[in-house]
Structure 1
Amino acid sequence: MRLSLLAALLVSLPASGALAQKAHNSNAPIDFGADHIELQDKANRAVLSGNVSVRQAEMTLNSARMTVAYTGEVVGGNPQVSRLDASGGVTVKRPDQTARSQYAIYDLNRRIITMLGAVTLTQAGNTVNGGRLTMNLDSGRAVIDGSSVAGSKGATGATSGVTQTGGRVTGTFSVPKRN
């Protein structure tokens, strides 16, 4: 079940609204830190692990592990990053907004972050929980649904493949104080 109304309440209010999110500068450089990095140049990727922290403009992304995919093109001495795949206690923080999940994919070309698994989005006293969150960094629009991804068990009991299972979106809205 999509919850577009809730997403609109949380992140798509007019610019004059207290909860509005401005467009993210996805052209800003990406700064990172981690306990360990493994460069895999032939595969055009880097694997960061241990207390991974990535910052781009006013947004930070923290996780236990991250794979950074780049195009192989180098501009100004820097590889051109196209995608970040994060796992393990993922947190994305933007001004006045925090999202948490088990996994996240940041597609820099599309300017979309997709978060999966036990998602929680908090903003200005409002909290929404679901299985998947899609954040459009250009428009500031977020859509949360109750779907989640889980491994399916085969006859041997081993996990094989990925299945889509349904779920519900839950949350809490703050209420303005009245006299």
Structure 2
Amino acid sequence: MRKLTPLMPAFAILAAPMLAVVPLTPAVAQQRHNSNAPIDFGADQIQLQDKANRAVLSGHVVVKQAEMTLTATRMTVTYTGQVIGGNPQVSRLDASGGVTVRRPDQVARSQYAIYDLNRRVITMIGAVSLTQGGGNTVNGGRLTINLDTGRAVIDGSSVAGGSGGGQGTGDAGGISPRGGRVTGTFSVPKRN
């Protein structure tokens, strides 16, 4: 795997109407992510577009940063044009096709994702599912993960402003959002 270091830049938040918002409780919040850690990547193919300050990775793309792994079919890596220590300064990752973000005790899936390294935010859109330890699963149209706070917010909005993001393959647990709603399952501890 090749390293792109140091990480600095950004994920742009997509503007879509908020239909329903479910903030996850602090009990399931993740630790602060080290967004300054090097990014290691692997892919079947890479196309460097130096004049445009980007690289396009395709085929079984795997990107690792600290404890987080992002996989997709295709990913565009945007960098600032600055090179420090022989490494381009990455600002944004745009992923598409079966996107999965794995963090300790948390797996998120969607059709598309944007990792804004400057804002330290990952935005996932299209048939989103978020599964946390203990079997908690939430489905919706858009998920925003703040890597500084560990807070994840999922809503029922979709990219095109349609009737929710539940179309496609991302419905975990057989539950998919309808009409811009957030759906899911929370586990309940056994009681005597």
TM-score range, shorter-chain basis?
A: 0.7 to 0.9
Shift of 1:164: 1.2
Structure 1 equivalent of residue 81 of structure 2:
72
Provide the C-alpha distance between the structure 2 equivalents of 1:171 and 1:165, rounded to a whole number of angstroms. Answer: 20
Deviation above 2 Å: which 4+ runs of structure 1? 1-4
Structure 1 equivalent of residue 108 of structure 2:
99
Letter in 2 for 1:168: R
Provide the C-alpha distance between the structure 2 equivalents of 1:61 and 1:89, rounded to a whole number of angstroms. Answer: 10
Taking the TM superposition and a 5 Å limit, the aligned residue runs for 1:16-165 are: 19-124=28-133, 125-149=135-159, 163-165=160-162
Check whether the contact 1:2–1:143 (CA below 8 A) recurs between aligned residues: no
TM-score normalised to structure 1 length:
0.85
- 2:24 is paired with a residue whose SS is helix
Structure 2 equivalent of residue 169 of structure 1:
182
Whether 1:8 and 2:24 are equivalent positions in the alignment is yes
Provide the C-alpha distance between the structure 2 equivalents of 1:176 and 1:49, rounded to a whole number of angstroms. Answer: 42
Query: How many corresponding residue pairs?
Result: 157
Q: Which runs of 5+ in 2 are unaligned?
A: 1-18, 164-179
Q: Deviations over 1:149-175 (max 9, x none)?
A: 2xxxxxxxxxxxxx3124110000000
Q: Which runs of 5+ in 1 are unaligned?
A: 14-18, 150-162
Higher-Rg member (1/2): 1
Check whether the contact 1:35–1:52 (CA below 8 A) recurs between aligned residues: yes
Identical-residue share of aligned pairs (%)? 78
TM-score normalised to structure 2 length:
0.80
Shift of 1:3: 2.5
Letter in 2 for 1:8: L
Bigger relative CO (Cα 8 Å, ≥ 6 apart) = 2
Provide the C-alpha distance between the structure 2 equivalents of 1:20 and 1:142, rounded to a whole number of angstroms. Answer: 8
When the two chains are superposed, the root-mean-square deviation of aligned CA atoms in Å is 0.9
Provide the C-alpha distance between the structure 1 equivalents of 2:101 and 2:46, rounded to a whole number of angstroms. Answer: 21
